Amino acid sequence: MSTTIQSVPTSLLATMNPSSSTSSTSGTSSTGTSAAASATASQNNFMSMLVAQMQNQDPLNPMDNAQVTSQMAQLSTVTGVNQLNTTMTSMMASYQSNQTLQAANLIGQNVVVPGNSMTLSSGTGQFGVQLASAASNVQVTVTNSAGAVVDTINAGSLPTGVSALTWNGATTAGTTAPDGQYTFTVSAANGTSSVTSTALSVGQVGSVSTGTAGPQLNVTNVGVTPIANVVQIL
């Protein structure tokens, strides 16, 4: 008995076995629409090749049912993963949009963010410090724009977390520092053990920008900082 074997179309084989450059290009797709189209195309190509494989099987040695079931399970898994990726992409876009709207509400508000700059205005400068653990001795060194030490503040003992501090502009020379921009450093210790500290600046949110890293706040005296860095809203 003779058997006629149908050949698999060259275009189908090319589609199912793309070149590395084509695979690389399709893998960089970032839109949900292109991902869905790619998933649909892969599903159609898989089914076409499975049908061609069944049409060209040896009638005296047909395909094992277990093989067909395994291939269908693989197709289902790939389709499910593609759908999950599309859903996650949509959720991320929605999350970033909500973050941007929340960030826009901060425009005009004073926020506390990591930084070492301080504005002395009308004899008062606001800043803060965040401690990883309680400290028995916290000292703040204030310097002017020339890098010269203006004052050393003994903040005493402070608890774990964020503490708001102020500087009255008094200098170690017994004079009053002029209003303007200053920088400061913080050192903390608990007995003889040092304590990890983070200097905090207070500034007003002037605008909000968006990017691949999410919403960014433009804070006066601080610069651009992610919204996640906001420690307090005043």
Q: What is the pLDDT of residue 3?
A: 43
DSSP state of 228: G
Nearest alpha-carbon partner for 153 in 177, 134, 132: 177
Tell me if 117 is assigned to some domain. Answer: yes
Q: Which of 80, 104, 128 is the last residue of a domain?
A: 104
> What's the whole-number mean pLDDT along residues 45-62?
74
Tell me if 3 is assigned to some domain. Answer: no
Q: What is the pLDDT of residue 18?
A: 53
What total number of domains does the chain contain? 2
Supply the pTM of this predicted model.
0.60
Same domain membership, residue 134 and residue 79 = no
Angstrom distance (rounded) from CA 86 to CA 88: 6
Measure the CA dihedral 221/222/224/226, to 10°: -140
* pLDDT tens digits for range 7-32: 445 554 455 455 544 444 444 444 55
Instruction: Specify the higher pLDDT residue, 64 or 18.
Output: 64
Residue 140 pLDDT > 70: yes
Residue 5 pLDDT > 50: no
Residue 234 pLDDT > 90: no
Q: Which of 67, 87, 104 is the last residue of a domain?
A: 104
* pLDDT tens digits for range 89-131: 777 666 667 777 778 889 999 999 999 999 999 999 999 999 9
Residue 182 pLDDT > 50: yes
